[in-house]
Chain A
Amino acid sequence: MEHSFIDKYSDRDSLLHRLDPRVKIICLVGFIILMVLTPPQYFHVFGQYFLVVVALLAISRIPFWFFIKRSLIVIPFVIAIAFFIPFFKEGRTAFILDLWLFKLSVSYEGILIFWNVLAKAWLSIMALILLSATTKFSRLLKGLEKLKFPKVLIMNLSFMYRYLFLITDEAQRMGRARNMRYFGGQFFRQLKVLGNMIGSLFIRSYERAERVYAAMCARGFDGTARTINPLKIQVRDLCFTVIFSAILMFIFVGWYI
């Protein structure tokens, strides 16, 4: 697996890349919470949110098609859960679909809910991509740590990030080896094979953890991880926060009044 599949493009340079991760995390969470709280009938407000995302995308210099492709992964899920809502939700009938055998009525309320879910899920995933594609994972964790995220979870996340690629590679190698030797079979036999694969993946991972711990002890590990380059809030971080929250407030107040 390529190492860069997680935070691809995070080593580029732009205003968004240079911002302090704390600022980015707070702005992102604020944006998503305000957006989720917006009632779905204010269509123009979602347009404004979309413009904010597009503006940030332009600043961030993330390739456009990469961004769009990544953001579309949420759509199948939305369709799977929400597609039938317009047909089942009761309310004023918008139009009736005349299918061959039966008629389906589609209600305004149902369409509104579908729109609500689709717009919010898509906008929020675009905002998340803006964060993850402009921030190195280690810096993201550093920011979360400074925001008083529990230390155990931070350690857990950083070790997971460090070994994710190795173990995923191992799992994919095992999967490839199985596919080459294995010609289908019964449901339960397949599950048993998968169980044995996951079992040996577990033992290998456990033994790796033991080796890692021994290596860390040999280098003087005493339970805390110390890193250099502490984060500092700079003028541009403050400017960005002020401007971003002003824009959000402007949009929010715009529909609220």
Chain B
Amino acid sequence: MHIPDGFLDAKTWISLSAISAGVVAISVARANKKLGEKHIPLMGIMSAFIFAAQMLNFPVAGGTSGHFMGGVLATILLGPFAGVLIMTTVLIVQCFIFGDGGITSLGANVFNMAVIGSVLGYLIYFTFYKIIKGKTGRFIGAFIAAWSSIVLAAGFCALELAISGTSPLKVTLTTMLGVHCIIGIGEAVITVAVISFVLATRSDLLELEKI
């Protein structure tokens, strides 16, 4: 889902870069205010963890495979602003070092995968967590948040490509949403499984201070 350079036209990538830069700036300000020294190595190592977890593939229908994105997981564990920073870090490394995505489309990729996943994911998760008490609320919230983070990211990706005039909206949107509805289930089940595993072994880690 990383958009390379050249797929977006000037108006799209400039405005998305501006939005993403704004959100990242807010997150940086929040992190500077609330971040203890202890969080500095923690955030970096969590970025490496998300990066490594993304390397583990799972099968999707028809012989293709998807991989874990982890935006919602990072958000649930460390809070939405930390989530934005962690995912942005991962995306920067993937762009500069591995050539996944481009420089001009970095803003769009950060918007799709870091901003939407973390901010909306956090809102969805916490709404359910507050309404339904206990474990069930946590799991349902995590499931829906993780699924919608993938589907929304795919939807926005298709929308951005269509606005740029690169591909027709109808075809791209239906194929992207269709495929990512299934990948989203994978993401959601994995996120819930990770949370239930952490809950069973070290439940104190789910109560870390959120940024």
If A171-B52, A223-B37 touch, does A212 touch B31 (CB 8 Å cutoff)?
no
In the complex, residue of chain B having the shortest beta-carbon distance to the beta carbon of A155:
B40
If A121-B7, A191-B189, A223-B37 touch, does A203 touch B205 (CB 8 Å cutoff)?
yes
- Contact present for A191 and B58 (CB under 8 Å): yes
If A125-B102, A199-B197, A203-B205 touch, does A85 touch B45 (CB 8 Å cutoff)?
no
B52 contacts across to A, CB distance below 8 A: 164, 167-168, 170-171, 201
- Contact present for B4 and A74 (CB under 8 Å): yes
- Contact present for B201 and A159 (CB under 8 Å): no
A-B contact pairs, 20 of them (CB 8 A): A71-B99, A74-B99, A121-B6, A124-B5, A156-B40, A156-B43, A156-B89, A159-B40, A159-B43, A160-B90, A161-B93, A194-B190, A198-B53, A198-B68, A202-B53, A209-B42, A209-B45, A212-B41, A216-B41, A222-B37
**Distance in angstroms between the alpha carbons of A201 and B191 in the assembled complex:** 13
If A33-B104, A157-B93, A196-B197 touch, does A129 touch B10 (CB 8 Å cutoff)?
no
Instruction: Tell yes or no: B97 within 8 A of A by CB.
Output: yes
- Contact present for A137 and B97 (CB under 8 Å): yes
Please report the number of residue pairs spanning A and B whose Cβ atoms sit closer than 8 angstroms. Answer: 243
Instruction: Tell yes or no: B46 within 8 A of A by CB.
Output: yes
B24 contacts across to A, CB distance below 8 A: 150, 153
B42 contacts across to A, CB distance below 8 A: 206, 209-210, 213
B38 contacts across to A, CB distance below 8 A: 213
- Which residues in chain A, 10-39, are within 8 Å of chain B measured between CB atoms? 28-29, 32-33, 35-37
Instruction: Tell yes or no: B140 within 8 A of A by CB.
Output: no
Instruction: Tell yes or no: B173 within 8 A of A by CB.
Output: no
CB distance from A158 to the nearest CB of B (A): 7
**Distance in angstroms between the alpha carbons of A152 and B202 in the assembled complex:** 27
What is the interface of chain B, defined by CB distance below 8 A to chain A? 2, 4-7, 10, 13, 24-25, 28, 31-32, 35, 37-38, 40-49, 51-53, 55-56, 58-59, 68, 73, 77, 85-86, 88-90, 92-93, 95-99, 102-104, 161, 165-168, 171-172, 186, 189-198, 201-202, 205
A113 contacts across to B, CB distance below 8 A: 165-166
- Contact present for B59 and A187 (CB under 8 Å): yes
- Contact present for A124 and B193 (CB under 8 Å): no
**Distance in angstroms between the alpha carbons of A7 and B167 in the assembled complex:** 34
- Contact present for A153 and B28 (CB under 8 Å): yes
If A82-B166, A191-B186, A216-B41 touch, does A73 touch B49 (CB 8 Å cutoff)?
no
If A74-B4, A156-B86, A199-B201 touch, does A209 touch B41 (CB 8 Å cutoff)?
yes
